[in-house]
Structure 1
């Protein structure tokens, strides 16, 4: 009697592990982009820094520039949840102090310095700029849905769509202003987080004038 042959090979990766691999690739790509430039960076180098093959890198991302996408998009769900929880009458710029700083990766977490350096690179690297702008383009409908839910309006109502566009533009302008100004980023993560927080509060205070 022949024994039933079981499945061999590695077990399939969990969704959580796949997401972690994407983040590891993103961090490695940014480090290489910052130290040697985008043009000089290859998929093989990115994979080697993570301990995977270039084939694995391309399985997760269609191009080397798109490898940074997880760092850009990490905060979308966090921000949308904050918008849903925004209590009427509470200043918008105060509601997001902690959440927005962490969502954009500038708090004292592992991605703080690299994300700021990456945003600076979007000014001179068209491929990275495209990924940066696409992330905000995809975030806007999520913000519009959150604002519509908060206000009890239909998802296709024009008002939350316009408000989301204003809010989204304020976020991008604030982060770019923070990342691009000055020659060097603050060495202390707490100082960097405080500076970003102040910039975000200023931008959101202006946006909130049209969001009440």
Structure 2
């Protein structure tokens, strides 16, 4: 079954408006379900965990859980979306006169990682050994691609479906994923790792991407 698109999880209110109370409650419940799913997946394994167990851990009915998520593995999507949303939010502050590498170098010591980062990193580590979770992780990035494409198109004045913009968005998307996976592996035993340490991983990934294909 196809995962729900990343943009559907964003459910942003119009610019400048605060999301409604119902939207905030829905987002909070989804995030809580995602955290409990990761906790159970970590402690007893993905195969041994049922959707019913996740629902009980959160204190909701199974019917409520399945209304929000099509599969038990897809329960983790809000956490993965939070990490991608963090990256996109950072990029929205990218000054038009500054290139991407300079922007991330300048902001390395000033950012904060998103809430729930230790749980997000534990989840990303699991995606390397759990095929079903890997599928959710890759789907989240696939759904993020048009978001990055539109952001780059707005910046360049081009079209989001232009091939060059699409390739640039895919390159940036790949660098974000590689940096997140590297950060998750390197700091598995350091739950208090900082944004500066993540930015160092991202800096290496972006520099590699900017080199092109030297083969």
| CA distance in structure 2 between the partners assigned to 1:100 and 1:144 by the alignment | 23
Name the counterpart of 2:177: 172
Name the counterpart of 2:52: 44
Instruction: Report how far residue 124 of structure 1 moved.
Output: 1.0
Counterpart among 119, 133, 137 of residue 124 in structure 2: 119
**Residues 109 and 195 in structure 2, CA contact (< 8 A), matched pair in contact too:** no
Counterpart among 69, 76, 94 of residue 68 in structure 1: 76
Name the counterpart of 1:89: 98
Alignment of 1:1-212 (within 5 A): 14-87=22-95, 88-90=97-99, 91-94=102-105, 97=108, 102=113, 105=114, 109=115, 111-181=116-186, 184-187=188-191, 189=192, 191-209=193-211
Instruction: Report how far residue 77 of structure 1 moved.
Output: 4.1
Output the aligned Cα RMSD. 2.3
Instruction: Report how far residue 175 of structure 1 moved.
Output: 1.1
| CA distance in structure 2 between the partners assigned to 1:52 and 1:99 by the alignment | 38
Name the counterpart of 1:10: none
The one-character-per-residue Cα deviations of 1:67-91 (angstroms, maximum 9, x if unpaired) are 0000001244443344344223341
Question: Which structure has the larger Rg over C-alpha atoms?
Answer: 1
| CA distance in structure 2 between the partners assigned to 1:77 and 1:45 by the alignment | 28
Instruction: Report how far residue 135 of structure 1 moved.
Output: 0.3
List alignment gaps of at least 5 residues for structure 2: 1-20
| CA distance in structure 1 between the partners assigned to 2:31 and 2:45 by the alignment | 19
List alignment gaps of at least 5 residues for structure 1: 1-12
TM-score when normalising by structure 2: 0.78
TM-score when normalising by structure 1: 0.79
Instruction: Report how far residue 185 of structure 1 moved.
Output: 2.1
The one-character-per-residue Cα deviations of 1:140-177 (angstroms, maximum 9, x if unpaired) are 11001000101111232222211111100011111112
Corresponding pairs, count:
189
| CA distance in structure 2 between the partners assigned to 1:180 and 1:156 by the alignment | 34
